[in-house]
Structure 1
Amino acid sequence: MKALLLSGGSGTRLRPITHTSAKQLVPVANKPVLFYGLEAIADAGVTEVGIVVGDTAEEIREAVGDGSAFGLDITYIPQSAPLGLAHAVLIAREFLGDDDFVMYLGDNFVVGGITGLVDAFRAERPDAQIMLTRVADPAAFGVAELDAAGQVIALEEKPEHPKSDLALVGVYLFTPAIHEAVRSIEPSGRGELEITHAIQWLIDARRDVRSTTISGYWKDTGNVADMLEVNRSVLETLERRIDGEAEDCEIIGRVRIEAGARVTGSRIVGPAIIGADTVISDSYVGPFTSIAGDCRIDDSEIEYSIVLRGSSVSGVRRVEASLIGRNVEVTPAPRKPAAHRFVLGDHSKVQIAP
C-alpha cells in the first residue's frame, strides 16, 4: 500500500499567514500540521508516500526532505493548480501504479491516527473506504447519504440542502478501481475534479464503497478558529517537562519549556509549550498557548494563542485567541497627546477633568 498526501492548496482562509507560508506547515503545538499526517501514515505501516505540491513546493520540500526523518520514502508530485482531489489522483497515476493507497489531506488532523482504518482496509479491500463524522454545518463539506443498512448510496460536494450531517473526513482508501472513476468524471461547477463525484461513479457502477463513522476528534485546519482548536486538543495531551531555565516563576500544570528557553518573573499556566531559545519575562502565558522558538514575550499577557518563530509581544495587556505569524512585533500603540481646543465666548467658565 502507498500513500498520497495532498499539500498543494493555497490556504486562502488562513491568510495573511499563508501569503508567506504553506498552510500545511503552520504549527500545532510547535509542530507543522503536515508532520502529524506523515507520522500517522508511518504508524500505519505505509512507507511509500507521494506528496502532491503546488506553489509552496519548495517550502514543503525543505521541511520534509526525503522523508527519512519519518521513516518514509517521499516522492514529490507537482500539481500545476489546485484542480480538485480527483485531479490529484489523476496526476499521481504513475506513482500509485496498481497499488492500493490511502489519500490524506495534509491540512487535516485526526486524533488517534489511521492505523485501525488502514488495517481493516487491507483485510477486506473494498473498492473505496471513506471516513465520516457528524458536523453542525454539513453544507461546508462533502456529505454522505446512507441507507437504512448504513450503506453509502450518495455523495454531494458542499450541497445547498444537505441530506445528512455526515461529512467526509480528509482520509480516503482506494484500490486501483478509483483510477477508472477519476478518468470518467467531468469538472464540477467549481472547475475541479471532485473526489466525491469519482466515489459516486463507483457507487453507480455497483462497486464496493464502504464508510466508517468516527466519533473521535477530527478537524480541517483551514481557518484560524480550527487551528486554535486543534492546538488546544494537542496540548491537552502534553506532558510536563522543563528542559529550559525557569527562575522566579510560577509554573502550573502541563507546561513544556524546551531546551534553550528562558522564563523569568512570569506565570505559566498549562497546557502550554515554550519553544527553544524563547525568552519570557515578567509575563503571563495562559492555557492552550504554543509559543515557537526564538520568540520574546515581555511584560505581556497571552493565552489560547499560537505564536510562530521569531516573533515578539512586548508591553501588551491581553492577547487571546490569536494566530501570530513569523517575525512579528506586537507592541502597544503610542498614546496620543491629550489636548483641548476651544472657541469660548466672553465670560465663559470651563471645567476640564484632569
Structure 2
Amino acid sequence: MKAMILAAGKGERMRPLTLTTPKPLVPAAGKPLIEYHLEALARAGITEVVINHAWLGQQIEDHLGDGSRFGLSIRYSPEGEPLETGGGIFKALPLLGDAPFLLVNGDVWSDYDFAGLNAPLQGLAHLVLVDNPGHHGRGDFRLADGQVSDGDEAPGTLTFSGISVLHPALFEGCQPGAFKLAPLLRRAMAEGKVSGEHYQGHWIDVGTLERLADVERLLGERV
C-alpha cells in the first residue's frame, strides 16, 4: 500500500512560525511534525509515500529529499495554488496508482499504528475517527456497526482524525481544480461504502501553537 501525506496548508493560525517554515516542518520536541508520520509509515511496512505541497513547499522537498534516510521512497505533488484536500489528492492520483492508499493529514499528531490499515478495503473509504476535541465539539460523522454515516451534528458523533484509506474510485467523475474531500465521503456514506473505526489513543490536530505545546507535553511524557 502507498501512502499520501497532505502538506499543502499555510498554517496561518501558527504564525509567526509558519511565515518562514511550512507547517509540516514545524518542530515538536525537536523533530519536524511530518517526520513522525514518515517514521510511523516506515514502521508499518509502507515504503512509497506521496507528499503534496504548496506554501514554502520547496523547503519540504529540500529537507526530506527522496526519503531514503527514513527507509522510504518519497515523490512530490507540487501545487501552484492550494487545491484543498480533494483537489490535492485528485492531482496526485497518477502517483498513487489504482489500489487503495493510506491518507494522513500532515498537521495531525497521533500514536496510531498505521499497520492496522493494511487490510483489504471494503467499499470506497475507511476512516479513523476519534473523540471530539474541545475545539470541535460537534464532531463530523457517526459510527455504527463498523459503518460511517453523516453525523449531522447529532449526539454521538465522532471527529475524523485525518487518517484514512481511500480507493481512487472515490474520485470518479472529478475534474482538476480545488475541491473538498468531505462531499465525496458523504456521497459514499449515503451509498453504504464507508467503513470506520474509533481510535481512543493519543491524537491532536496541531492547528495552533497551544496544541503544538500539547504534542510536546505528550512526547515529553513518553521519554
Fold shared per TM-score above 0.5: yes
The answer as to whether partners of 1:138 and 1:167 remain within 8 angstroms in 2 is: no
Q: Using the alignment, how far apart are the partners of 1:58 and 1:230 within structure 2?
A: 25
Percent identity between matched residues is 32
1:127 and 1:207 in contact (8 A); partners too: no
Within 1, Cα distance between the matches of 2:138 and 2:20? 27
Partner of 1:201: 187
| 1:132 match | 129
CA positional deviation for 1:30: 0.7
Deviation at 1:6, TM superposition (A): 0.9
Residue in structure 1 matching 2:160, options 168, 171, 177: 168
- Cα distance in 2 for partners of 1:134, 1:154 equals 16
Root-mean-square deviation over aligned CA pairs:
2.3
- Show the counterpart of 1:152: 148
**C-alpha deviation, 1:150, in angstroms:** 5.1
Q: 1:197-217 CA deviation, whole Å, 9 max, x = no partner?
A: 11112123x252111101100
TM-score, normalised with respect to structure 1: 0.58
CA distance in 2, matches of 1:103, 1:130: 10
Whether contact under 8 Å (1:128, 1:210) holds in the other structure is yes
**Whole-angstrom distance in 2 between the partners of 1:126 and 1:135:** 25
- Equivalent residue, structure 1, for 2:111: 111
Matches within 5 A, 1:1-354: 1-116=1-116, 118-119=117-118, 122-137=119-134, 139=136, 143-147=140-144, 149=145, 151-154=147-150, 161=153, 164-180=156-172, 183=174, 193-204=179-190, 206-238=191-223
Cα distance, 1:138 vs structure 2:
6.5
- The offset of 1:107, in angstroms, is 1.4
Deviation at 1:151? Answer: 2.6
Counterpart residue number, 1:325: none
1:152 maps to amino acid: V
**How much has 1:102 moved relative to structure 2?**
0.6
Q: Secondary structure at the match of 2:66?
A: coil
Give the distance between the partners of 2:32 and 2:112, measured in 1 at CA. 17
Secondary structure of 1:229's counterpart equals helix
Structure 2: gaps spanning 5 or more residues:
none
CA separation in 2, counterparts of 1:145 and 1:125? 18
Higher strand share: 1
Over residues 133-186 of structure 1, what are the superposed CA-to-partner deviations in whole Å (9 max), with x where a residue is unaligned? 111446478600245x45322156xxxx565441000111012222216x18xx
* Residue 18 of structure 1: how far off its partner (Å): 0.5
Stretches of structure 1 that go unaligned for 5 or more consecutive residues are 239-354
Kindly indicate which of the two structures has a greater share of residues assigned to helix.
2
Contact 1:93 1:179 in 2 (8 A): no
Matched length? 223
Higher RCO, 1 vs 2 (CA within 8 Å, ≥6 residues apart): 2
C-alpha deviation, 1:123, in angstroms: 3.7
Quick one: which amino acid aligns to residue 62 of structure 1?
D
TM-score (normalised: structure 2): 0.90
Residue 19 (structure 1) shift: 0.5
The one-character-per-residue Cα deviations of 1:286-325 (angstroms, maximum 9, x if unpaired) are xxxxxxxxxxxxxxxxxxxxxxxxxxxxxxxxxxxxxxxx
